[in-house]
Amino acid sequence: MNSLEARVGAFVVICAAILGAAVYSIGNAQLRGTGVPYRTYLRYAGGLEPGTAVLFGGITAGKVTAVAPDASDSTRIRIDLDLKAGTPVNAKSVAKLGSVSLTAGPIISITTGAKDVPLLAPGAAIASEETVSLDDLQRKLGALADSAETLLASMGTDLNHISDDAQRLLSHLNDVTGPVNRRHVADVLANADSIVARLSPKMDQITDEVLKLTRSADATFSNADGTITALREPIQADLGELRAALEQAQTLIGSLQALVRANSDDIHEMVDNIRKAADNLKDVTGSVKERPWSLIWTKQPKDRKVPQ
């Protein structure tokens, strides 16, 4: 009985040893990584550390194994990756820093690249693309708001000058085509008619020596009268069309001024919204830097009590 128990005990010990060795081997294999090594370089690592997930086309494909400044270029960070065997990383694939959600940690995202390009060899460097940080985005929004405000001020000044010039042009055109000038033209035509009427009877009293000259002059004056009569109505019609065109231009300029005033308020409001958004983003960034736990917990966790 003692011999049987000893054998059973030895068998159990041997099985436990085999199970422990298997678990130890699997754990070491997972820790060492059984994938294909690659590397990439970024100017801003954004909190990456060994064990950070690596996505290929949005699918988990490996993890980060090491993050350190590049020995050959201190202005960039070398990031070593361990990808699953068979991951089709090619020459057009691009690695960049990203995140799955606002509350999630950073990840390395690799694009699928192109179809008809060669795959990268193990240990090769994957092309990278820098991402815009929150500080850079805040600075760009501030610069955009300032430039938009300057542009609006410049546009307002230019439109005011254009409006003033258009008003002066309309005033001059109204003076040229006003009722005083029209009456003056009508008086000139009436005087010409009266002159022709007065000269026609006197031409009959001229002597026979100048009869031919008189008849020629009479024909000349008759042609002039017909020409003036024929041109009177087209001139009046042209003046009417010119006045209508000027009135339409004045109406159009008034509509443009109203449109500019309406859009000016909207644009100013848009600039104010952009500035407020930039300020809110700055506040959120500062709050996240000071209290990063607020991204996960709505209330600050209680301090641990010192053990007695």
Inter-residue contact 56 to 83 (CB < 8 Å): yes
Within a domain: 302? no
> Positive or negative, the Cα torsion across 15, 19, 20, 21?
positive
Same domain, yes or no: 98 and 162: no
Count: domains in the chain: 2
Same domain, yes or no: 95 and 44: yes
In 3-state terms the chain splits into helix, strand, coil percentages (rounded to 5) of 60, 15, 25
Six token digits for residue 123:
């240990």
pLDDT exceeds 70 at position 306:
no
d(CA 158, CA 20): 83
d(CA 93, CA 111): 5
Same domain, yes or no: 76 and 160: no
CATH number for 283:
1.10.287
Helix (H) or strand (E) run with residue 238 in it: helix 211-290
d(CA 43, CA 105): 18
Q: Which residues contact 173 (CB under 8 A, 6 or more apart)?
A: 242, 246
Six token digits for residue 61:
């494909």
Within a domain: 17? no
Instruction: Give me the pLDDT at residue 196, please.
Output: 62
pLDDT tens, residue by residue, 243-267: 887 888 788 888 777 776 777 777 6
Residue 38 DSSP one-character state: E
Within a domain: 213? yes
**Given pLDDT bands bounded at 50, 70 and 90, which one contains residue 69?**
very high
More confidently predicted of 37 and 222: 37
Same domain, yes or no: 156 and 101: no
User: Once rounded to an integer, what is the mean pLDDT over residues 272-278?
Assistant: 79
Pairing, β 125-129 against β 94-99? parallel
d(CA 35, CA 86): 9
Share the mean pLDDT of the chain: 76
Q: Look up the pTM and report it.
A: 0.38
Same domain, yes or no: 47 and 93: yes
Instruction: Give me the pLDDT at residue 25, please.
Output: 57
d(CA 230, CA 82): 96
Same domain, yes or no: 166 and 281: yes
Three-state secondary structure call for residue 129: strand
pLDDT exceeds 80 at position 159:
no
d(CA 254, CA 119): 64
Inter-residue contact 82 to 52 (CB < 8 Å): no
Within a domain: 281? yes
Angle subtended at Cα 247 by Cα 236 and Cα 229, rounded to the nearest 5 degrees: 0
Of 131, 154, 182, the one marking the end of a domain is 131
Q: How many CB atoms lie within 10 A of CB 46?
A: 16
Same domain, yes or no: 78 and 187: no
Within a domain: 10? no
Same domain, yes or no: 154 and 207: yes
Same domain, yes or no: 73 and 196: no
Within a domain: 199? yes
User: Once rounded to an integer, what is the mean pLDDT over residues 191-217?
Assistant: 63
Domain that holds residue 262: 136-290
Most confident option among 71-80, 186-195, 208-217, 273-282 = 71-80
pLDDT exceeds 70 at position 298:
no
Of 79, 84, 95, the C-alpha closest to 47 is: 79
Same domain, yes or no: 144 and 207: yes
Within a domain: 165? yes
Within a domain: 3? no
